Chain A
Amino acid sequence: MMAQGLYKEKLLEHYKHPRNRCDGPIQGADAIERGSNPRCGDEVEVGIFLNDGRLDKLQFRGRGCAVCIASASMMTEAVAGMGVRQALLLCDEMHVWFGDLDHACTSGLPEGLQPLAVLREHPARQKCVLLSWEALAQAISGTTDR
């Protein structure tokens, strides 16, 4: 079956083979936060591993639709290695890109997140894209507030 519409090959590939996904509890993370969407039952937990002010590694676990899982998977790859401020900035930009449809374009999206760009045309799926990003922002904020 060929991928069609918003389910491009790359998005489907992340859904079927998610990166940095844990089957059990996330172990040893510096902070873990959860995002949930009671409307569809999606739940994602994001754990961050810090090293000298940088996000050394991210892991996630949870259940959700293909968009939710693929977005979380892409996020763990795109954000790894970033400084915490840069990662928080990207979380904010994701909200602007997917929450503000009048915003010019998604050309500023990092390469690894480009398969998500098509989701801007589907505002009903906005929450699916952003769930893991919201959890990430909370996790980072939790560590910097300490």
Chain B
Amino acid sequence: MSLALQSTGGHKVIDPGLVRRDFPIFTTAGLHPKLHYLDNAATTHKPSCVIEALTRSYAQYYGPVHRGLYPLAEQATINFENARRTLQQFIGATSPGELVFTKSATEAINMVAVGWLQSRLNSGDVVWVSRMEHHSNYLPWQRVCKERQAELRVIELTEDGQLDINGTPGLFADSTKFIAVSHVSNVLGIENPVAALCSTAREHGIPVLIDAAQSVSHLSLNVAEMGCDFLAFSAHKMFGPTGIGLLYGREERLSGMEPLLVGGGMVDRVGEASVASQWAGIPSRFEAGSPDMPGAVAFAAAADYLVSLDRDSVRLHIASLTQLAAEGLMAIPGISLLPHAGLPRSGIVSFTHRELHPHDMAQVAGESGVAIRAGHHCAQPLLNHLGLAATARASFSVYNDKADVEALIEAIQSAHEMFSG
């Protein structure tokens, strides 16, 4: 158990002050003395254990993976595959072979769209995404549908921002060949009922991909309980390094997927004629080129770190800060929350002001040391639907505390006073 967990009345509670000690960005003297980092949905900061795992991999255990017969190379290979096993346990996959290292969640989703779905999709078939998707879980499906003269349809949202599954006729029809939805919306912070969706889809033989990029840092992920066919997330949003992500695919699904990249490390036999070449087994066939061993090791260190914090305590801590922020923001004149106030949110509060542009709110906040995001958050289909061009967004993590929320409220109140009237 991490020292940052305090036991209170039989419950484990996150102590954000102690958590912050794990993160050099907050503790290095004089570096960012007034930083209130509330842009965790964009990317999270890195604890020392992740940074050390990365540097140790380069400084002490660096060598080629799957390519050398000397001790250093063997150690590099062992560390790389151990990282895969750690992440397998982290998401509850059946075997390490079901995990493919990618450079991002975006790459993982593109791999499934082109490598798995494209050859199975025909004219008249339907692929479903939801209204709240990030562009990375929208454009790959839009493109593959265009390629194959198939139809991309959108699961709309209820007024409460929930997936309107009951109001979506044809979602589980025979023509549906794939469903791709996010676990948590990066704009609304709404958590989708992915287990129920996967369960019904499976009854109809429809594969489902879950984009877990926004949920992985604060909700427990278990692919067996979720029942998904594919799952994608990146390391950098869960305290891991930038430039590495993960694709989970059920073994039978991955076995039927074509690699996007071909080259070194993904092939068993290369013949003169292309038909004579034979791809390696899974997951190697999807990891062409020298793999990012240090990144994978640091990714696994991030997963270990999250587990050490106790995932239920993380979820409760973030939920309580999110609620506090939602209430505080609503008390500021002119502020509206998306889709509206009073909803449970998973780590994210998006808001607009009756008169102020989100850029101006974010700029004023930034000048007070409060880091929030303003823009369309790579979710234009959702924002267009809501009739908005941009929102301001605050997103929370384990190292945030009430002082961060108070600084946010104060900054937005300042912006309101500065620009109004």
Contacts and interface: CB of A to CB of B under 8 A. Distances in A.
Contact of A65 (B360, B388, B417): B360
Contacts of A128: 359
Interface string A60-85: 00001111100000000000000000
A64 B367 CA distance: 20
Interface residues of A, number: 22
Contacts of A67: 359-360
Which of B363, B380, B421 counts the most chain A CB atoms within 10 A?
A: B363
A3 interface: yes
B357 A40 contact: yes
A1 B418 contact: yes
B102 to A, nearest CB: 26
A66 B360 contact: yes
A122 B390 CA distance: 19
- 7 closest A-B pairs by beta carbon, nearest first, are A41-B389, A65-B357, A1-B417, A5-B367, A65-B359, A1-B418, A40-B390
Interface residues of B, number: 19
Contact of A15 (B358, B364, B419): B419
Contacts of A38: 376, 380, 389
A40 B364 contact: no
B363 A39 contact: no
A12 interface: yes
Which of A3, A16, A39 counts the most chain B CB atoms within 10 A?
A: A39
A40 B374 CA distance: 8
A4 B367 contact: yes
A40 B358 contact: yes
A37 to B, nearest CB: 9
Interface in B333-380: 357-360, 363-364, 367, 374-376, 380
Which of A7, A122, A125 counts the most chain B CB atoms within 10 A?
A: A7
Interface in B249-302: none
B192 interface: no
24 contacts: A1-B414, A4-B364, A4-B367, A5-B364, A6-B363, A7-B364, A12-B418, A15-B419, A16-B419, A16-B421, A38-B380, A39-B376, A40-B357, A40-B358, A40-B375, A41-B390, A42-B357, A65-B358, A66-B419, A67-B359, A67-B360, A68-B357, A125-B363, A128-B359
Nearest to A69: B357
